[in-house]
Chain A
Amino acid sequence: MNSDQSVVDAAGSWVYVVEDDPSVRDSLSLLLQLRGFSTAAFDSAEAFLVADAIERPACVLADVRLPGMSGLDLQRKLTSQHAALPFVVMTAHGDVATARTALRDGAVDFLEKPIDEQDLMEAITVALRSDQEQVERARSRETVLSRMQRLTERELEVFERVTNGFHNREIAEEFGISQRTVEVHRARLMEKLQARRVADLFRLRFELDGSSANQASKSLS
């Protein structure tokens, strides 16, 4: 696969190279830059962890064997700190056990050195696409949340009951208000949430629940 054909926009994407061998690090950075990616290189996992800001969409390309914290440890740490930043691991040992551990912990791909450029580009593309999707999901969730902020307390309650499958009559009984009032609340909240049908409400609810289970987007700037 050629990077030109990929859906990922290389120009705005970041690849963080974590590799202790200076030549390997330098050559990878150079190649990725020539392919249009923005790169930042680190000689250890610790150096990467103290780096200031992580631009998104991005992915990490890290060697398994690093001085100090290993690439696999870094991967685990990132999963808890940085919003499931997609991870591609490399190794000079064709080591099945390490590969399995990395992939089980959620690595996008496992590359063996000497690294084949095509494999590298494919792995980076997949990683970046996955991060882009994450970013977009987070963004749309933020949009939904900002619309939700405009709802009154009662409207929020009605939204919750409606998306739980209650009828207007039941909601009216519960809150001790008339069915007519419930209908008014509903119309208002649908207007505020830019929902045209009830089905849209369910979709919003699903989107919120789905991404709220995933704490990832919270750390996004």
Chain B
Amino acid sequence: MSGVEAARDPDRPGWLEAIRAQIAGAAAAPPAPAHEAQPAAGGHDLVGPHLLQGLRDRPLLLAVFFIAAYLAVDGGTAVFAVAPMYSTPWNPQAALALTLVATAGLRFVPAVFVAVLLAEVLVRNAPAGLGSALAALAVAIVYGAAGYVVQRFTRWTRAEVTLRDLSALVLIAFAASLAVALLAGLTHALAGTVSLRLLHIVSLQVVVGEALGLVVTAPALLLLVSGAWRIETDNTAGRGRLGRDLLLFGLGLTALLLAIFWWRPFDQFRMSYLMFVPMIVIATRHGLFGTAVAVPMVQVGLIVAVAVFRPRAATAFEYQMLTLALALTSMYLGLLSSERERAARRLAVRERELREQRNELNEIQRAAATAELSAALAHDLNQPLSAIGTYARAARLLAERDDADRATLFRTLDQIAGESTRAGNYVRRMRDFFRTGVMHCEEVGVEELVGRGRAHVRDRLERADILFEASIEAGLPRLRTDAVQVGAVLDNLLGNACDALAAAPRPRRIRVTAGRLAGAPAPTVRITVQDSGPGVAPELCPQLFKPLATSKPHGMGLGLALSRSIAERLGGGLSFDAAGSVTTFHLDLPTHEL
């Protein structure tokens, strides 16, 4: 079906919307095959300029705005301009041009050309001739190509920036700078303003100045203008405190610069390496975006300081190199910090999802076990109820007869009574199963209890190759308690131990010890169950005895919560020994000795 047909079809508005969205998406963000899919970034508008929202639909206004900014920046940074090629230590206007093309498209290359030409003529006093125009055209093409490559092959304007994207931007910056420097050098050499011998020296300054301008300014501009900074700040450690920290950083930077250039306890240039310290703080706390904003602040501060204090010890070029090293180091550090933070966050989300899934599964299994159990109970109850109903109908028929067979009638009535007893027995058995009713106290030896517990997990012990050690103090009194309930608690503890050991390294060991508990108010026997498993996670300890805390549903297996309530109802207690080096549970039971 064609788009026109779909548009006419009132039943299919969804198709049209979908195709419109696809068209818009394709225009704003051409596919970058090497990139992995963007992970959930909280519904931000990833594509399209953010700061340029208002200018987006007015290309002419945007172009004028750009040219004005370009000229202002070029004029403002024209300190230490080295004649005759007018090479400055920092060319942020290159970053402006690159950002414009990367976010607004190749159609703005003419605007870049106009800006470069005007800057040459107005700021640098170049002759307004064909030579300048050709040079400006060449530079505009280089910036345009750089911007296109950034937009097309990196994720700076649309997604989380990776190591690859940062390296790509640095490479693009150096390549563009090299090209611009060569063009500038060639133009001047052809015009005869520089000798060919000096060419390489002057060009190196141009290269570094251009590259520095791009490396220092382009990251922040790209992120801000495209709106991608929201993605970056989403996942940083100091999220929400970026403004405050940048203010503090600015104050610290000013103090540091004053100390280095004004107070000057040592040589200024060597002192300058101190500026790595606040950069590292910002990079680790605020990741790539924080660093991207902080680096231009350092650059401005340094230029102002150098311009004001005019240090003798070093040339502007040396400070350029310093800033370049500082910018690159902190940018990579910030990126790694961002990635680490993102990875941690993703891991946390994944873990939470897994935990939720596991809990859901537990609930389902619990529900299934309950459903199965109630079905079994319903069956057992239905049989006597069915018999009672049928006998009652039969009894009525018998009684209605004139020649009533009294013997059969009585037998039938007896059957009804018998069936009701049977139903009652089922109900009692069910209640006993759930252990909500009375206890059945009997005398039982501790060895016997431990032996039964071991027998219940024998298969599991063998399968998982677990050593079972039991040491029971001689001469322990027999317990007067509900052996079934104590058995259930012991089974639960041993089952948990087996679960914990299933994935533990060999030798796997379960140790059960029993003895009198010294210092208890009443004579008490303590049965201790230990396993050589990985132990209970500290954060789980407080919830250990809460209902539904178990992660291992085994049919109707009793959780630790139920086990503890059983132990307490029997006059004893169940506790977890957090101090032990191995997982240790204590089951305390009163001996009722006189």
B323 close to A (CB within 8 Å): no
Q: Which residues of B contact A18 (CB under 8 A)?
A: none
Name the one of B382, B390, B391 contacting A92, with C-beta atoms under 8 angstroms.
B382
> Is there contact, CB below 8 Å, between A34 and B389?
no
Q: Does B394 contact A (CB under 8 A)?
A: yes
Tell me, yes or no, whether B164 is within 8 Å of chain A by CB.
no
| Complex Cα–Cα for A186 and B393 (A) | 60
- Tell me whether B168 is interfacial, beta carbon within 8 Å: no
Interfacial residues of chain A within 188-209, with CB under 8 A of chain B in the complex: none
Q: Is A173 engaged at the interface, CB distance under 8 Å to the other chain?
A: no
Q: Does A34 lie within 8 Å of B394, measured CB to CB?
A: yes
Contact: B382 with A30, CB < 8 Å?
no
A189 to chain B, nearest CB (A): 54
Partner of A34, one of B387, B397, B419: B397
Q: Is the CB of A92 within 8 A of B383?
A: yes
Instruction: Give per-residue flags for B385-420: 1 if the beta carbon is below 8 A from chain A beta carbons, else 0.
Output: 111111101100110000000001000100100110
Decide yes or no whether A219 CB sits under 8 A from chain B: no
Closest CB of chain B to A23's CB: distance in Å? 4
A63 to B547, CA, bound (A): 40
Cβ of B270 < 8 Å from any Cβ of A? no
Contacts of A115 in B (CB 8 A): 386, 389-390
CA distance A152 to B112 in the complex (A): 115
User: A27-B391, A31-B393 given as contacts; is B412 within 8 A of A114 (CB)?
Assistant: no
- Whether the pair B412, A23 counts as a contact (CB closer than 8 A) is no
* A residues 86-128 in Cβ contact with B at 8 Å: 92-94, 113-117
Contacts of A35 in B (CB 8 A): 397
How long is the Cα–Cα vector from A15 to B417 in the complex, in angstroms? 26
Chain B residues touching A, majority SS: helix
Residue of A nearest to B388 (CB): A114
Q: How far is the CA of A113 from the CA of B385 in the complex (A)?
A: 8
Q: Write out the residue numbers on chain B whose beta carbons fall within 8 Å of the beta carbon of A28.
A: 390
Is B383 a contact partner of A24 (Cβ separation < 8 A)? yes
Q: Is A170 interfacial (CB-CB < 8 Å)?
A: no
A23 touching B415 in the complex, CB below 8 Å, given contacts A30-B391, A117-B390: yes
User: Is B536 an interface position by the 8 A CB rule?
Assistant: no
Taking a contact as CB atoms under 8 Å apart, the answer to whether A114 and B382 are in contact is: yes
- Please, which residue of chain B has its CB at the minimum distance from the CB of A22? B387
Q: Are the CB atoms of B394 and A31 closer together than 8 Å?
A: yes
A26, CB-defined interface residue at 8 Å? yes
In contact, B378 and A93 (Cβ under 8 angstroms)? yes
User: A31 near B390 (CB under 8 angstroms)?
Assistant: yes
A108 to chain B minimum Cβ distance, whole angstroms, is 19
Residues A92 and B394 in contact, CB atoms below 8 Å apart: no
Q: Assess whether B361 is interfacial by the CB under 8 Å rule.
A: no
Instruction: Give chain B residues whose Cβ lies under 8 Å from the Cβ of A92.
Output: 378-380, 382-383, 386
Q: Tell whether B368 is near chain A: CB-to-CB under 8 Å.
A: no
Contact of A30 among B375, B388, B412 (CB under 8 A): B412
Cβ < 8 Å to B, chain A residues 26-67:
26-28, 30-31, 34-35, 65
A113 touches B391 (CB 8 A): no
Smallest CB gap from A20: residue in B: B383
A133 interfacial contact with B, CB 8 Å = no
Q: Is the CB of B387 within 8 A of A23?
A: yes
Identity of the chain A residue whose Cβ is nearest the Cβ of B385 in the assembled complex: A114
Most buried by B among A23, A26, A115: A23
In this assembly, does A157 line the interface, its C-beta being within 8 Å of a C-beta of chain B?
Answer: no
**A93-B375, A93-B378 in contact; A27/B394 too (CB < 8 A)?**
yes
Residue B56 interfacial (CB < 8 Å): no
When chains A and B are docked, how far (Å) is the Cα of A94 from the Cα of B382? 10
Residues of chain B with a CB closer than 8 A to A26's CB: 387, 415
- Check B384 for interface membership: any CB of A closer than 8 A: yes
Whose C-beta in chain A lies nearest to the C-beta of B422? A23
For A24, what are the chain B residues with a Cβ–Cβ distance below 8 Å?
A: 383, 386-387, 390
Q: Could you say which of A27, A94, A116 contacts B387, with CB atoms under 8 Å apart? A: A27
- Residues of A within 8 Å of B375, CB to CB, are 93
* A and B contact pairs by CB, cutoff 8 A, 10 listed: A23-B383, A26-B415, A27-B386, A27-B387, A27-B394, A30-B390, A30-B412, A113-B382, A114-B385, A117-B390
Q: Which 8 A-B pairs have the closest CB atoms?
A: A92-B382, A27-B390, A113-B386, A23-B387, A114-B386, A31-B394, A92-B379, A34-B397
Q: With contacts A34-B397, A114-B388, A114-B389 known, what are 16 further pairs, Cβ within 8 A?
A: A21-B387, A24-B383, A24-B386, A27-B387, A27-B391, A27-B412, A27-B415, A30-B390, A30-B394, A30-B412, A31-B394, A65-B379, A92-B380, A113-B385, A113-B386, A114-B386
